A and B are shown apart, each in its own frame.
Chain A
């Protein structure tokens, strides 16, 4: 474990492990219903659209648009107080209307953000075990 990393990290469970394994492999993977094709995030044992229980991890494009965001100026979590201001945003992924994931938008002046702002995923390591999916302005390159 890299000693420098003090921010909170995810503790995967049986439903979410595939998501975090994907991030470690630099792929954004979202559960998809085998019956009706609906993407499901956060991960769950059932498809909320048809209640089927057969879901597969599928790599998605990692492209999306900002649906809503806050600029955090007062950070209380370990490791975050020295990073303010930072952006926490819901990104609506390109694969499905309403398929949203909470993350950060980095490499971007917060004042440039707007509804529908185009972003794409990249990954940052959070210590030696976990990588987090974060988003950058589309076209900024990997």
Chain B
């Protein structure tokens, strides 16, 4: 019922790399992508000529595979893809790389994501025409949302969060507990953009963006690049770092579209409810076996929703679970040990996956969760999303 385990542990992360995280990188997106990619390739003990697969994802703001492959001087590529998509594709693009390996196509695959998310093209600022030509015209599904002032994810998640508050009594203070916990983790992370501790009072004093979400419920617009190298299991063992295996993965949910939400039946039952059982089943694990969770946290509410729908806590209990310390470093399931997208920075989710790898390698420094052997990493957090189960 959980499908065959054909892909389990067939691919492993052998290299990771990232640039510094900033508000203004001062360089091009291609430069960020190349810097991160070279670091990841060398971290794996490889040369660019060893890479035979290349993937990235983005929403028109990414470094193209064509340009990065040429600049790296790759000799021969068997699979590549420029995925058009946002956070859902962070783990999914890595999963696609794992499939290219499991099918025998590729031996060492590079996955990167770079963006000048603050100084360049900012997410949630819909690129619209208009001006002298009259008001901007919105085609596609956006024609039913953008003309009403719905511009991006913060409002979308605000709508989901509100429904959760209605049905389960979740509060803005619960959201605040997520922000405070992850900021506390970022204090331990020299890479993080936001390293000053915050209190619940700070959170409650921060301004509304899309009520019920406040400024401190939102992630950090960031300029940075992240990359990983995925290798075939038999080529992953004699590398500089212990391999981190991909035990299972999924990209799915209820209907393969994150927007519009118009047809989405239950705003409180999100993608993990659909993919979670199969994901853990194919990995041969259960949710209680997961040691650290790199949950996609573009907004605080997503953490609460995913905790519930993966089964880390009961339905509707995510708020109290967080308030009771459930996601803290010493809690039942440490979440966002790097500070997450909320405080480390927002590299469209890929930076959270890097943290999961570092935790499983055991080289997360001050942030290390002792004895971490398995991790869950996720991408996005609405009616669709992607996820990976990793093990050392």
Contact = CB atoms under 8 A, between A and B. Distances in A.
A70 B135 contact: no
Contact of B134 (A1, A67, A115): A1
Interface string A66-79: 01111111111111
Contacts of B208: 71, 73-74, 85
B149 A9 contact: no
A71 B140 CA distance: 24
Given A8-B128, A77-B149, A78-B130, A70 B137 contact: no
Contact of A115 (B140, B166, B209, B263): B166
A11, A77, A101, A126: most-surrounded residue (chain B CB, <10 A): A77
B163 A68 contact: yes
B148 A88 contact: yes
Given A42-B260, A90-B261, A77 B134 contact: no
Contacts of A10: 137-138, 143-144, 147
Interface of A: 1, 5-13, 16, 41-42, 48, 67-80, 83, 85-86, 88-90, 98, 100-104, 110, 115, 126-127, 130, 132, 134
A37 B210 CA distance: 36
A4 B260 CA distance: 29
Contacts of B163: 67-68
B148 A127 contact: no
Interface of B: 124-126, 128, 130, 134-141, 143-152, 154-155, 158-160, 162-163, 166, 207-213, 260-263, 265, 267
Contacts of A80: 149, 151
B144 A68 contact: no
Contacts of A110: 211
Contact of A78 (B136, B148, B158): B136
A71 B210 contact: yes
Nearest to B150: A88
A73 B149 contact: no
Given A68-B159, A70-B210, A72-B155, A6 B135 contact: yes
Nearest to B135: A9
Given A75-B151, A102-B148, A115-B166, A42 B159 contact: no
A102 to B, nearest CB: 5
Given A11-B138, A73-B210, 5 more contacts: A8-B146, A67-B267, A68-B267, A74-B209, A102-B260
A100 B262 contact: yes
Contact of A11 (B137, B212, B261): B137
A126 B147 contact: yes
Contacts of A13: 139-140, 143
B144 A76 contact: no
A73 B130 contact: no
A127 to B, nearest CB: 6
Given A8-B135, A77-B126, A72 B210 contact: yes
Given A12-B143, A16-B143, A70-B158, A127 B207 contact: no
B134 A76 contact: no
10 contacts: A1-B134, A7-B149, A8-B137, A11-B138, A68-B166, A70-B210, A71-B211, A73-B211, A76-B151, A90-B261
B137 A9 contact: yes
Given A76-B125, A78-B128, A7 B166 contact: no
Contacts of A1: 134-135
A53 to B, nearest CB: 17
Nearest to B267: A68
A49 B154 CA distance: 30
B135 A126 contact: yes
Contacts of B141: 42
A99 B158 CA distance: 20
